[in-house]
Amino acid sequence: MTDATPVRRRVGVMGGTFDPIHHGHLVAASEVQAWFDLDEVVFAPTGRPWQKSERDVSPPEHRYLMTVIATAANPRFTVSRVDIDREGPTYTVDTLRDLSAAMPDADLYFITGADALTDIFSWHDADGLFELAQFVGCTRPGYDMDPETIAALPSSRVTIVEIPALAISSTDCRERQRRGQPVWYLVPDGVVQYIQKHRLYPSSEPDPTPTP
């Protein structure tokens, strides 16, 4: 007789603008994958991020392809188009609903940095979020989690994980590229080359990033 109980997969979801994806994102995803023994981590680049409408965000297709390039070598990392193919602003609740419908056999773990987790109560349908996934808050240099916010989170649905500190942000990568400073080793090599090829984050300098 065989055990008919279906085995549920454990799937991480790493949402982000990824403009560009950098090693802080990749280390957070890798660390949480190992911590929770996840079968897969799905990176979900946002369509139009509702929090970032004040600045121009690179076209979704560029952000999607940079995410594919950055994750290609890891057999447990995949990239989803759910958010970039959906019309309108991206809300995490929609990301989780769509992924959950596509993977009914999976328990979802939403991976988020300390800055984003602190804002969680301002997220669209914050209450519904905790029903859709376990939340994993990753420490991030420069962003201390407000103890009141942590205390208000449902402790059975949120885990805080300390990850190796990488003080890298996409904002800083964009600014460095614009100023002609190197972004090598802050983002994967293929992403540096993609940024140069497509002249993302242009500066007034003709060829800003020197090859090492």
Q: Given the rule CB under 6 A, which of 126-134, 152-160, 169-177, 198-206 is the region that contacts ligand ATP? A: 169-177
Binding of ligand ATP at residue 43 (CB under 6 A)?
A: no
The rounded distance, in Å, linking the Cα atoms of 205 and 30 is 35
Distance from C-alpha of 124 to C-alpha of 118, rounded to nearest angstrom: 14
CB of 7 to ligand ATP, least distance (A): 29
171: contact with ligand ATP by CB under 6 A: yes
For 208, the enclosing helix (H) or strand (E) is none
Q: Is 170 in the site for ligand ATP (CB under 6 A)?
A: yes
In sequence order, the 6+-apart residues with CB closer than 8 A to the CB of 75 are: none
Q: Collect all residues with Cβ–Cβ distance below 8 Å to 209 and sequence separation of at least 6.
A: 177, 180, 182, 183, 184, 192, 195, 196
d(CA 53, CA 60): 14
Binders in 13-42 for ligand ATP, by CB under 6 A: 16-19, 24-25, 28
Cα separation, 24 vs 10, in Å, equals 22
Total of chain residues touching ligand ATP, rule CB under 6 A:
18
Residues sharing a CB contact under 8 Å with residue 97, sequence separation 6 or more, in sequence order: 132
**Least Cβ distance, residue 113 to ligand ATP (angstroms):** 2
Distance of closest approach, residue 161 Cβ to ligand ATP, in angstroms: 10
* Smallest distance from ligand ATP to CB 30, Å: 11
Tell me which of 32, 168, 187, 192 binds ligand ATP, using CB under 6 A.
168
For ligand ATP, which is the closer residue by CB, 2 or 194? 194
Residue 153 near residue 120 (C-beta atoms within 8 A): yes
**Smaller CB separation from ligand ATP, 24 or 208:** 24
| Closer residue to ligand ATP, CB minimum distance, 106 or 187 | 187
Q: Look up residue 14 and give its DSSP letter.
A: E
DSSP letter for 10, please: E
- Of residues 120-149, which lie at the interface with ligand ATP (CB under 6 A)? 138, 140
Residues forming contacts to ligand ATP in the complex (CB under 6 A) are 16-19, 24-25, 28, 112-113, 115-116, 138, 140, 166, 168-171
